[in-house]
Structure 1
Amino acid sequence: MDYNQLAVNLLDAKSLVASVGAIGILAIIFAETGLLIGFFFPGDSLLILAGVAASSAAEKVLGEGARMPIAMLLIGAPIAAIAGAQLGHLIGAKVGPRMFDKPDSKIFRRDFVVKAEEYFDKFGPAKAVVMARFIPVVRTFLNPVAGTLEMPARTFFVWNVVGAVLWTETMLLIGYFFGDAMAPVIDKYLLPAMALIILISISPIIIEVIRERRKKKAGVAADEHEPVSSGRHRKG
């Protein structure tokens, strides 16, 4: 293996899948969700291309001998994602306050805690943990922040499992079932395809934001209506 080439292609999901194999993919999923510094890994596109690598389109996309066992991916990926997130939560619970309170920290800043608190307040801890799985970077940092905010380990574990299974299995199966259809266009339209993948990944949060805005508009309309009614009553 050319480690210099691998280092250059860390952000390239196709190169990663072709270079590291199934075990390497599972290790990257663990690192992205648990080691904090792994936030730059392309988790969504990596899982989808891993699914393609397990499909009949594997050799068309990645070359001869690139086929991966789908059973290993479907079992191993959620386990790696769960284990990584639990490690992140543990790190946050043990050293989170010291880690986030460093004023000169380049990666771990206090505003991560503030934003996570707002995220938790808006959606609730359970929904926040599940939805974060589908949002790049957030799925890395939310885990230690959840530990820092003292989210109970047992509660975190339950929703961590739900989110990890939904995320990994959805992405893998998209690649597996649509591998043949994606194969002719992956090289030519890789960037648009990745943009579409990211859009699919963040669609849960988009839906929730739209719902929250509709609720707020409905609440504002109700508030505006009541003063008018009260004013007319006073005038009468």
Structure 2
Amino acid sequence: MSVVPALGAQPALLPDWLDAEHLISSFGSYALIGIVLVVFVETGLLFPLLPGDSLLFTAGALVAQDALDFPLWLLCVLLFAAAFLGDQVAYFIGHKAGPRLFRRPDSRVFKQQYIDQTYAYFDKYGGRTVILARFVPIVRTYAPVAAGVGGMRYRTFVSYNVIGALVWGVGVTVLGYLLGTISFVRDNIEALAVLIVLVSVVPVAIELWRGRRAARRADGGRDERYDEPAERAAVERKAFEQ
């Protein structure tokens, strides 16, 4: 397997761990396995800082350019499976760990603001968040966990998860494949990957800003006798069970 550099000797626009093309190239002959594992880890093992969207798009584009030596159908089948199983694992982590998981102290990867942001999406979109969150970095990692914590019915979650894995894992990959033969895309694939990351991050930034503004407004009237995370989980559980 060989990966054809899209930008030649131009300087990288993203750090190596976010540069989808560099990441795929680093996998060498194990590119297919590496791509699938990255998607599974991001969606299932609470590690949000990976290039999900741009990885899918770039993988599809490189297959179209014959820079990867496996067929599109195989890539799509395995990415669908990885995206679906990843969310299943995350759901059961949330279901088994419960609210304790959401009270963990901040670490390099886990931040309470990620959880707050995910709850904001559930408040706004309900169960559809499982689908919509696929296209939002960080939120896609914690949405299935929040669904498990909140007690969303498993059958309902699986239905949303199948649709989400299909439109994201397969849809974005096929989009990259269809556009990958266009000369502009082929010559600027890394720049386009940066654009995908930036566009994906915009909703995250907006929700964080709204959340912080709402938190500042509510600070004065907060009653510390109540355990906010537990109360919030109870509210979400009631909504999911309906």
TM over 0.5: yes
- TM-aligned CA distance change 1:69 to 1:112, over 3 Å: same
- Mark the runs of 5 or more structure 2 residues left unpaired by the alignment: 1-14, 208-242
C-alpha separation between the residues in 2 aligned to 1:155 and 1:96?
A: 18
Which structure is larger by alpha-carbon Rg, 1 or 2?
1
Q: Aligned pairs, how many?
A: 186
**RMSD between aligned residues:** 2.5
1:17 pairs with 2:19: no
The answer to which structure, 1 or 2, has the higher relative contact order (CA under 8 A, 6+ apart) is: 2
Deviation at 1:103, TM superposition (A): 4.2
| Alpha-carbon contact 2:94-2:145 (below 8 Å) kept | yes
CA distance in 1, matches of 2:19, 2:159: 32
- In the alignment, which residue of structure 2 is the partner of 1:41? 50
Tell me which amino acid in the other structure corresponds to 2:75. L
CA–CA distance in structure 2, aligned partners of residues 19 and 199 of structure 1: 23
- Paired residues of 1:17 and 1:25 also in contact (CA < 8 A): yes
Superposed CA offset, 1:65-101 (max 9, x none): x333211111111110000001001001111311212
User: In structure 1, what is the Cα distance between the partners aligned to 2:172 and 2:70?
Assistant: 15
Matched, 1:27 2:37: yes
Find out whether 1:52 has 2:61 as its counterpart: yes
1:173-184 to 2 correspondences below 5 Å? 173-181=174-182, 182-184=185-187
Q: Tell me, what secondary structure is at the counterpart of 1:58?
A: coil
Partner SS state of residue 54, structure 1: helix
Structure 1 distance, partners of 2:108, 2:25, is 32
CA contact (8 A) 2:117 2:139 kept: no
| Larger proportion of helix | 1
- Which AA in structure 2 matches 1:98? R
Task: Evaluate the alpha carbon distance shift between residue 115 and residue 104 of structure 1 in structure 2; reply closer, same or farther with a 3 A threshold.
Answer: closer
Checking the alignment, whether the CA contact within 8 Å between 1:134 and 1:202 is kept in structure 2 is no
Query: Is 1:137 equivalent to 2:138 in the alignment?
Result: yes
Name structure 1 gaps, 5 residues minimum: 1-7, 60-65, 210-236
Equivalent residues of 1:112, 1:145 under 8 A apart: no
1:76-225 alignment runs, 5 A limit = 76-103=78-105, 107-125=109-127, 127-181=128-182, 182-186=185-189, 190-191=190-191, 193-198=192-197, 201=200
Contact 2:87 2:144 in 1 (8 A): yes
Q: What's the CA shift for 1:152?
A: 1.6
Alpha carbons of structure 1 residues 149 and 110: separation in structure 2 relative to 1, 3 Å? farther
Cα distance in 1 for residues equivalent to 2:201 and 2:116 = 21
TM-score by length of 1: 0.70
CA-to-partner distance for each residue in 1:11-62, whole Å, 9 max, x for gaps? 220012223211111111111100112x11101111111101211x133xxx
**Matched position secondary structure for 1:14:** helix
